[in-house]
Amino acid sequence: MNNENITDNSDYFIEIGYNIAYYRKHKGFTQEQFAEKLGISRQHLGAIEAPNIVRPFSLDLLFTMAKILEIAPYKLLVFKD
């Protein structure tokens, strides 16, 4: 097994970004509104949600996102097979 592949979590961050965007839109927030509630810039949120950018972020931020979106945190970590 190649260690390089083990440490590449890009696909996971992309999937999380899709999930965040989905639940944000479902809740009716724009990126700007959601970013303001999170205390981050719209550009940072945009990079987290963008499928062509891998933007790692903390679990603390993920938990805060889930609280604001009124969902269980695991829903942001559900990946497609």
> pLDDT tens for residues 14-48?
999 999 999 999 999 999 999 999 999 999 999 99
Name the residue with tokens 């992309």: 14
The model's pTM: 0.89
The whole-angstrom separation of Cα 34 and Cα 49 is 12
Do 35 and 41 form a contact (C-beta atoms < 8 A)? yes
CA distances from residue 67 to 42, 72, 79, 81 in whole angstroms, order as listed: 18, 8, 20, 26
Decide which of 45 and 5 is more confident.
Answer: 45
Mean pLDDT of 51-70: 96
